[in-house]
Chains A and B, each alone.
Chain A
């Protein structure tokens, strides 16, 4: 069975500082993808970044980077130079090709950026 764990219900970060949001996953599949989504108070899920299980380098997208440690089964999101607009819920998700391409989401982390 696939499982995503986010152990930080809430996080605070000072504006312009970096913050790391934790995500661990459990799967027996060899081929899978890891995703991070942002959900602001408006409710829409916004795709941030993707990491494939066979990717050797950590993914980066602007201020977002994914710290992928395959042996530890962790895929932490790092947001650099936090902005007030980064305040939102953040969800880690996994998709495994051998399980019908279903997405499994974690419970989310609420990030608050303090001015």
Chain B
């Protein structure tokens, strides 16, 4: 079974530029998460999708961040314009909705963003 795919793996941009990240979840997983992980911290949820609907985006800085999952499969996360403090690893995870409280997330390899 293929895992969660993310691209690119690394990205370096200058502040005020735009950037987009792509995620393809495990086949059949209805739930998709985007996390931001700043160096030395735990992952922070940015947005959670179930199928193509948003479940939680309360911590997404909506003035500069946007995300979509149009067909309920793959997803893109965009930052426009980027700031220095956006330098982080962006992790995508997916999971099934079965199982109640037990619903393991499967993580992708992450995209390491450096904003200069």
The interface centre, meaning the residue of A43, A91, A95, A107 with most chain B CB atoms within 10 A of its CB, is A43
Give CA–CA (A103, B104) in the complex, Å: 10
Give CA–CA (A105, B42) in the complex, Å: 6
Contact between A107 and B45 (Cβ–Cβ < 8 Å)?
A: no
Chain A residues with CB under 8 Å of B44's CB are 105
Give CA–CA (A106, B101) in the complex, Å: 18
Give the residue of A91, A100, A106 whose beta carbon is less than 8 angstroms from that of B56.
Answer: A100
How many B residues have CB within 8 A of the partner chain? 26
Give CA–CA (A105, B110) in the complex, Å: 16
20 contacts between A and B (CB under 8 A): A33-B103, A43-B89, A44-B108, A44-B109, A45-B91, A45-B105, A46-B107, A47-B104, A50-B102, A52-B102, A53-B101, A91-B42, A91-B43, A100-B56, A101-B31, A101-B48, A101-B55, A101-B103, A103-B43, A107-B40
List the 8 closest A-B pairs by CB distance, nearest first: A105-B42, A45-B107, A33-B101, A43-B110, A97-B101, A44-B109, A105-B43, A107-B42
Binding site for B on A (CB under 8 A): 4, 31-33, 35, 37, 42-47, 50, 52-53, 91, 93, 95-97, 100-103, 105-108
